[in-house]
Amino acid sequence: MNKGFRVVILRILISLAKLSIVAFAMLIVCIVAWGEFVVGRVYQNMDNLSGLDFVDPGSWVYFEDGDTLSPGWTIARLWALWWGFVLVSLFVSFLLASMRWRRGIQHFV
């Protein structure tokens, strides 16, 4: 296997590893932010009052259980907010993963 091919494969693997690390970190950020700024303010779910609702989209409000939405909010707006979190998270993940974390790769090859 020639050295150039190994460098390309190694760069791809490093990029995938960086993307995975950043995406996981962004998931944690989204869970915490959802719990702090959305749950209890935008909607009240009597079954779950944590940010973990972020990883189970659509199960935010069951009106028959006493759950409520804040005035001015709808399920569609809540979905739009969730998709906003997801898209910003993906953008930040790809942006940070594409940045060079260390100068050079030659010492790995």
* Residues 21-41: tens digit of each pLDDT: 999 999 999 999 999 999 989
Is the model more confident about 102 or about 36?
A: 36
For residue 25, the Cα-to-chain-centroid distance in whole angstroms is 8
Burial annotation 79-109 (CB, 10 A radius, 16+ → b, else e): eeebeebeeebeeebeebbeeeeeeeeeeee
**Rounded to an integer, what distance in angstroms lies between the CA atom of residue 109 and that of residue 94?**
24
Residues 6 or more apart in contact with residue 97 via CB below 8 angstroms: 15, 18, 19, 21, 22, 23
Give the global pTM. 0.82
**Rounded to an integer, what distance in angstroms lies between the CA atom of residue 27 and that of residue 23?**
6
